[in-house]
Amino acid sequence: MALSRDKKNQLVAELSEALKDAKMTAFAEYKGLTVADLQELRKNAREAGVSIKVVKNRLVRVAMQEVENLKESDTSALKGQLVYAISTEDEIAAAQVLGKFAKNHPDLKLVGAFADNGDVMDTETVTTLSELPSKDQLIGQIVETLLSPVHAITGGLTNEDLDFRKATN
């Protein structure tokens, strides 16, 4: 069923607003996925704070022209049946959602992404980003690394075998 011009304009306005607020928009080819698979992808994305859109590529191009940072972006990768994952909270969450889903569903193939500054990323870059830990996990790893010397010192001082109080008596 064809969309009326009013519905297309409304859809473009919603898309341009979503793209303007997005920290990253990743896209993947979904040819061969079932409706149930797409529903599962939407559920996983919702849990990660990512929105999933299945929209004609031409409408995405029009919406990108309305976003200042994306006007000059190369849109040559927008070909075929694409699903768009838009993340407004985390820079790599969109790529992670698509990448994680693609591991269990080989019909989903990562194609690329747009960063909030308009940079276009290729398949290899998006795949690499999708394999990174989340922002919260990275922060936790850094904190753990920073605290490890402190834990080692306190562990050594409280170790009964190396108890300095016994050595002084």
Query: Where in the chain are the domains?
Result: 5-132, 133-169
Q: Is pLDDT at 164 greater than 80 in this prediction? A: no
* Beta sheet of 120-121, edge-to-edge order: 50-53, 82-87, 24-29, 109-115, 120-121
Q: Which CATH class is domain 5-132?
A: alpha beta
pTM over 0.85: no
Q: What is the pLDDT of residues 81-131, one digit of tens each?
A: 999 999 988 888 999 999 999 999 999 999 999 988 888 999 999 988 888
